[in-house]
Every structure is written in C-alpha cells, then in structure tokens.
Amino acid sequence: MSFHWINPADISINCILLMDRRLVGQVCGPWYGEEYDKSLAIALAYHPAVAWYCKEKAPETAAYVDALLSSAPQNVPAEEIRTAECFVLDQIDWAVVYVYPELMEQNCPYIYAWDKARLFELCDFTGRLVLDVGAGTGRLTFAAAEQARHVYASEPVDRLREFMREKLRQEDVSNVTVLDGMCDCLPYEDSTFDVVMSGHVVGDDYDRELAELERITKPGGWILDCPGEDDRWTEPEPEMLSWGFECLPYLSKTGGKVCRYRKRVIK
C-alpha cells in the first residue's frame, strides 16, 4: 500500500542497503501481493548486492529472496527493470522514509501538519523526566524538550537516531538523549519516568507494550499516546480503553478525527 510519501523515480533501489534488519524483514516477505513479488524479483535479480544484503542482514528472508531470484525472468530491458524498482519503492514508501528522514518530515502529514499544542494539552511537562518511545524524527521529543528537564528519545531505526542527533546539534538542544529501544522491551529500570509518550507506535501487542510503558512510569506519572494529523476518521481503540486510558479526540487539520490517549499511572 502506497502512502504517496515519496516520488519513486527519485529513489534508488539501493536504499534497501540502508535498512536495518527489522525493515528488511518487512520489505522482503509475502505480504504485498503477486505484483509486488514479481517486481521485487526483477529488482533483486538485477541488483545482486541488494539481494545479498537482504539475506545477510535478515537471514529469515533468505528463502523468500532465493525463491524470487529463481523466478526472475532473464534479459529484462533496463526500462522494465526500473519500472519494477519504482513499483517496489512506491509500495514500501513507508520504509523508504525511515532511511530518508528528511523526506519523512517534508512529506508525511502526520508530522508536518502537526501542532505541538496537541501534546501540551495532555499534561504539564515542566521539569519532568520524559521518554519518547519510537521517537522517529523527534516530533514529540523536540516539543517536550521545550519544557521538560530531560527527554530520552528511544528509536530502533539507526538512520532516524542519527537524524535526531544531527538536529539536536544544529538547534543546540542539550536536554535530549537519543538511544535505541523497542516499545515492548525498553532498557530502563522500573518507575523511571514522569511522562512516557508515543505516537503511531502502540498497537502490535497492546498488552505487552502497555505493560512495558507502565513498568517504567513513576507512580502518579503519565502515559500519553499522541498521534499526528490524519485524514481518517478514527474511533477510540477498545484495547486502550480497557487499559484505563482516557480518549481525547480532536478534529485534524487534514480532515479526520484523531484520538489521543492519556493515563495516570497508579501503582
């Protein structure tokens, strides 16, 4: 599914060489349909270094990649190869912007159209120790840093971590630390943070993820889920409500309804 966040004609298929294991595992798999498989087969067959990288970086993809390579047609004209590459890139534009964070900030409406006031409405950040889980390009991190004592930005994608570090340097922000971490297994002790926040992160395994966020939140602290702008009309997630979260929806600048959530942690 394309979100139209990139122009595939401007991107090389070699961008896959910039992806980490998690992204390669999501790009190289039977999730996207027959046309995607056929196009990826051509792209990988005519870019053997990319095929090799996928298998080495994410060994769990090796059987899938080998099957594609064995099915790829021979003597494909250059223009057809490029057409296949562009089709693949268009379908995985969500992954491409992970390795080109500047495109993510420019082209993803949930970032560029977002107003930081939507975060500050949820709680007081003044003097607080804050964790941003799945920080991405730092949409929530940089906003919270204006008020918080210190913000830890946890992000599993290395290209995004480096993007945030460079932005911190350019903007001379000194109260943010960027590091690795997944939302269901965070490298922090129990009851560490006053505020734990995220956006577009929780949802693969609500029970495991929310339990982890509660574990690292101080008694009386806040857990916040603050998505960016969206043109879709969303309804409250039953899983969030079952965990005791309050839903605070608002009308998005891009035409939809966005559901934010917050919960005060009682231990």
pLDDT digits (tens, 9 = 90+) for 130-145: 999 999 999 999 999 9
Of all residues in the chain, the percent with pLDDT exceeding 70 is 100
User: How many of the other CB atoms lie within 10 Å of CB of 253?
Assistant: 15
**What pLDDT sits at residue 103?**
96
What six digits make up the tokens of 129?
């120790």
Confidence of residue 58 (pLDDT cuts 50, 70, 90): very high
Q: Can you tell me the distance from the alpha carbon of 73 to that of 76, in angstroms, rounded to the nearest whole number?
A: 7
Q: What is the CA radius of gyration of the chain?
A: 20
Confidence of residue 2 (pLDDT cuts 50, 70, 90): confident
Residues 219 and 192: beta-carbon distance below 8 Å = no
Q: Mean per-residue pLDDT for 191-201?
A: 97
Structure tokens at 198: 């995220």
Is 135 within 8 Å of 199 (Cβ atoms)?
A: no
Tell me what the mean pLDDT of segment 236-260 comes to. Answer: 96
**Tokens 């934010």 -> residue:** 260
Kindly tell me if the per-residue pLDDT of 147 is higher than 80. Answer: yes
Residue type, 177: T
**Under a CB-based contact definition with an 8 Å cutoff, are residues 216 and 191 in contact?**
yes
pLDDT higher than 90, residue 162 = yes
Query: 243 pLDDT band (50/70/90 cuts)?
Result: very high
SS3 state of residue 16: helix
In the predicted structure, residue 45 carries a pLDDT above the cut 80: yes
pLDDT bucket at 108, cuts 50 / 70 / 90: very high
pLDDT band at residue 55 under the 50/70/90 scheme: very high
pLDDT confidence bin for 88, thresholds 50/70/90: very high
Nearest-angstrom CA–CA distance, 182 and 180: 7
CA quadruple 54, 57, 61, 62: dihedral sign: positive
What pLDDT is attached to residue 1?
Answer: 75
DSSP E strand boundaries for 12-154: 129-133, 150-154
Nearest 5°: the CA angle 134, 140, 142 is 115
pLDDT in tens, 169-191: 999 999 999 999 999 999 999 99
C-alpha to C-alpha distance for 175 and 127, rounded to whole angstroms: 11
Best CA proximity match to 59, nearest among 25, 14, 99, 18: 25
Q: Residue 156: helix, strand or coil by DSSP?
A: coil
> What's the chain's average pLDDT?
96
Q: Nearest-CA neighbor of 153 among 173, 124, 126?
A: 173
pLDDT, tens digit (0-9, with 9 covering 90-100), for 210-219: 999 999 999 9
